Amino acid sequence: MTKRVIFTALLSTLVTAAFSQTAKEIAMKKAGDSIKAFYIAEAAARYPLLRQAHISAEYIGNSTVKSEFNGNNFYEGKAQITRIRSNFNLPLAQFGKNTISGSVSYVQQHFDLSEGTSTIAALPAENKSFNKSVGGLTLSFLRIDSLFNRPVIFTANATGISDAFSSVKRFTFTGGVLFPIKRTAQTTITVGLIAVIDPSSPIPAAPYFSYWHKFKGSDLELILDLPTRLALRKQLSKKSWITLGSELGGSNFFFDFKNTILPEDAMYSTFEIKSGSTFEYKVTNKLILGLSGGILTTANSRFFKRSDTPTDYFIKNKIGSVPYVNFSVSFLPFVKLFK
């Protein structure tokens, strides 16, 4: 959920920084809008979260899974996962210093379990393949203001997720207060605090630190967005670039177990770290194709009741690090972002 706060923070700091640099030199509004649109596209090329739409297909290698039920070892087997992710961002309204935007997301994940053994008769190990999917709707609010004569950014994001169209099974809220510290042609720095109201989140709040720097005399950039991303980006040509680094992500899926010792209303939550490289090529002014690969490490994998927190889990999984490959299609912003 912190990614929604980071999305609004990046949008505001990068776009307003770019426009403030050009507004003094551009007298005509039309020219200013064109310059601003250019900087928005450049920022979205560096930060995939800012892109209008993103679709990816991912293959994750066969990994060893060891599971505990209520603190006792009971299962060991293999798991292979393929997933499809999609996300679409859309600006909705702007009034004064405030901007409202929305996003729609969808994840479908295919699980292939094999070579399993279990020590609990009520939880037999079976070779099986099944799909899980979840969709989400997010409404985001952003306000750019000043506090103690310093620029400040306020963000708030409300998200509902579900695996059915008839109801919302999970509602979460994130908010942030962010302070742009430095903005130059070579460097931007933003610090702040992110609060999370989400039972599945391991922490209620976290500090936020964003740092971007372009090294002089080269096309090499350092991108740091704590706690989610660390990357080095190298421009190879006007239309292509490669990014090396690590990124934190995860997923949530709903399970309705038909088992006497498992709760019916369960949730499966994971936190993952991807470390590898991404090559992207701009096919047109708005269309980007990407190919990435590396090592995926599952830092946390748990089943818990939907009304509980991850610390009250009944199943905990230890999953080995495995290779992954990802192919993506994304679009730079093509909907007018501001009035």
Cα separation, 5 vs 280, in Å, equals 25
Q: What is the mean pLDDT of the chain?
A: 87
The pLDDT, as a whole number, for residue 333 is 86
Calculate mean pLDDT across residues 265-279.
95
The pLDDT, as a whole number, for residue 202 is 65
Cα separation, 33 vs 23, in Å, equals 10
Lowest average pLDDT, out of 110-114, 231-235, 237-241, 255-259, goes to: 255-259
Determine, yes or no, domain membership for 16. yes
Is 280:287 a contact under the CB 8 Å cutoff?
A: no
pLDDT at 54 over 70: yes
Residue 224: both structure tokens together:
């740091």
Residues 6+ apart with CB under 8 A from 285: 41, 332
Instruction: Name residue, tokens 């479908």.
Output: 108
Calculate mean pLDDT across residues 236-250.
95
In tens, the pLDDT along 162-202 reads 998 888 999 999 999 999 999 898 999 999 999 988 766 66
Determine, yes or no, domain membership for 39. yes
Calculate mean pLDDT across residues 222-231.
92
CA dihedral 51→57→62→67, nearest 10 degrees, is 60
- C-alpha pair distances (Å), 46 with each of 69, 179, 199: 42, 21, 31
In tens, the pLDDT along 1-12 reads 455 555 555 555
pLDDT at 338 over 50: no
Determine, yes or no, domain membership for 321. yes
Q: Quick one: which of 208, 102, 108 has its CA closest to 160?
A: 102
Determine, yes or no, domain membership for 337. no
Number of domains present in the structure of the chain:
1
Burial bucket for residue 241 (CB in 10 Å: 0-12, 13-18, 19+): buried
Determine, yes or no, domain membership for 47. yes
Determine, yes or no, domain membership for 72. yes
Rg (CA), the chain: 21
Lowest average pLDDT, out of 94-98, 105-109, 333-337, goes to: 333-337
Q: Report the first-to-last Cα separation within the chain, whole angstroms.
A: 28
The pLDDT, as a whole number, for residue 308 is 85
Is 43:10 a contact under the CB 8 Å cutoff?
A: yes
- pLDDT band of residue 335 (cuts 50, 70, 90) is confident
pLDDT at 22 over 70: no
- pLDDT band of residue 226 (cuts 50, 70, 90) is confident
Determine, yes or no, domain membership for 143. yes
In tens, the pLDDT along 123-143 reads 999 899 999 999 999 999 999
Is 21:13 a contact under the CB 8 Å cutoff?
A: no
Q: Quick one: which of 188, 180, 176, 86 has its CA closest to 140?
A: 176
| Containing structural domain, residue 114 | 2-331
Determine, yes or no, domain membership for 336. no
